Structure 1
Amino acid sequence: MHSLPLFVRLAGRPVMLLGEGEPADAKRRLLERAGAVIVGEEASAALAIVAIEDEAEAQAAIARLQARGVLINAVDRPDRCDFTLPAIIDRSPVLIAIGTGGASAGLAAALRQRLEALLPATLGPLADRLYALRAAIRLAFPALDTRRRALGAAFAQGGALDPLAAPPEAVETWLATPTAPIDRLVPLRLRSADPDDLTLGEARALALADRIYAPAHVPAAILDRARADAVRILCDTPPVTREAGLTIWVEWA
């Protein structure tokens, strides 16, 4: 992973914007949508976007700002960027960012267009309803691990809260008959070291797993498909006792 994606709240905060023309105008529109206060180089800000077309002038501005400790996005100069601006799918409050680390803005835009067609307009209202009912969800599932597993099962494809199909009112229906998730041990038999060879079901199981048992020689690329907070236990044999939640035993010769 070449960068750590972050969502930064810019409402009311200053961001420097240097440059003129369409590249600068495009960045200005994006910053205005985020509520940023756009300022010049003479102001104080933690972030700056350099959209200057002249190469020598742009490099000089970048050097000055970096000397001040300002994080920079340099338009069309990915090797000089401290951060990049992704293609964005806006289903507020749900935001999906697609980045290529500056390798190809066109590729990011193409992916955004494809994903836009998959994500329903109900996705934002569904998130709003979940937020409004968060107290009721905590009451139905008091334990954090149980709540996370219950939501994970509900959000799965075909689940009660499938994000691509469920209307906002489905949250109340789901809460009316809360069901605690079943403790499971699922074997996952790898066919190759390539994570793209995982089936959809296998990838989903890794993404939902509470803990993963695996031999030390299992490729890191496979384990990276799991949640960052899933417990990883390196061992050569599967667990002998049933544990709470979803446990994955990865097998690979």
Structure 2
Amino acid sequence: MHSLPLFVRLTNRPVILLGDGEAAAAKRRLLERAGAIVADETTAAALAIVAIEDAAQAEAAIARLKARGILVNAVDRPALCDFTLPAIVDRDPVLIAIGTGGASAGLAKSVRQRIEALLPARLGVLAKALEAARPAIKAKWPGAAERRRAIDAALAAGGRLDPLSDDAADAVEKWVEGGETGSPDGLETIRLNSTDPDELTLRAARLLGEADHVYHHPDVPGAILNRARADAVRIAADMPPASPPPGLSLWLEMPR
């Protein structure tokens, strides 16, 4: 990754905005939508957006702001940006951000439009229903691993709470009452046919997203391991474990 995506709460927090014209107006609308206080250069702030068209004036303003330790987004000047603003799919409280590191705003917009067409309008309602059901979910599945697997199974394609289903939000209560569980504990083996993560089978991709522990040959490339859950434990080994720990474990091996 060239950047670490972050969601920053800006409600009632100042953000400096410099510039006039359409670009500055668009950034102002975005900041106000996020609840930020749009401020001038004299304000103490952690973030700033410079939308000045004149190159010399913009670069001077950027230098002044960075000298104060402020992180800067320089509109149409990606090389000078400390952070970039993504294209956003808003299904409050669900937010999906698409960024290209400033390479192409048009590409980010096109991807956003495709995702917009896929996601139901009530996706945010599903998120709120899951939040409201959190105490009941924890009571039904006390263990963190079993709880995560149950949720993963429910949210999978075709599952009881498939996020692409318009009525998933209405099924949360019955799903909790039913007590369906996800993948069982144990060890699953994945024999990789390629070093290209795009060639993973659907089963392999699903298991990588669910596993608690990923055991792998040392020659399994990082691009494959990056498809595992971020919090999954990764262990390089010459052979699979004789006694895997509780939860779902994977053994990845490359073709010989």
TM-score normalised by structure 1 residue count: 0.97
Give distance in 1, aligned partners of 2:125 and 2:203: 27
The Cα shift of 1:192 comes to 1.1
Whether 2:142 is the aligned partner of 1:142: answer: yes
Contact 1:48 1:70 in 2 (8 A): yes
Whether 2:47 is the aligned partner of 1:47: answer: yes
Structure 2 residue aligned with 1:36? 36
Contact 2:160 2:168 in 1 (8 A): no
Give distance in 1, aligned partners of 2:106 and 2:220: 35
Structure 1 residue aligned with 2:246? 244
Mean Cα deviation higher: 170-179 or 20-29: 170-179
The Cα shift of 1:147 comes to 1.0
The Cα shift of 1:101 comes to 0.7
The Cα shift of 1:242 comes to 4.8
CA offset digits 1:58-110 (Å, max 9, x no partner): 00000000000000000000011010000000000000000011111111000
AA partner of residue 98 (structure 1):
I
* 1:1-253 matches, cutoff 5 A: 1-165=1-165, 166-181=167-182, 182-253=184-255
Query: Aligned with 1:128: secondary structure?
Result: helix
The Cα shift of 1:208 comes to 1.2
Contact 1:149 1:245 in 2 (8 A): no
Moved over 6 A (4+): none
Q: Which runs of 5+ in 1 are unaligned?
A: none
Q: Which runs of 5+ in 2 are unaligned?
A: none
The Cα shift of 1:199 comes to 2.0
Identical positions, percent: 63
CA offset digits 1:162-194 (Å, max 9, x no partner): 111152121111111113431132211111111
Query: Aligned with 2:15: secondary structure?
Result: strand
How many residues align structurally? 253
Give distance in 1, aligned partners of 2:171 and 2:248: 24
- CA RMSD, Structure 1 to Structure 2 (Å): 1.1
Give distance in 2, aligned partners of 1:242 and 1:38: 53
AA partner of residue 168 (structure 2):
P
Give distance in 2, aligned partners of 1:138 and 1:34: 31
Give distance in 2, aligned partners of 1:84 and 1:200: 32
The Cα shift of 1:203 comes to 1.2
Contact 2:153 2:181 in 1 (8 A): no
Give distance in 2, aligned partners of 1:128 and 1:244: 30
Query: Aligned with 1:90: secondary structure?
Result: strand
AA partner of residue 71 (structure 1):
L
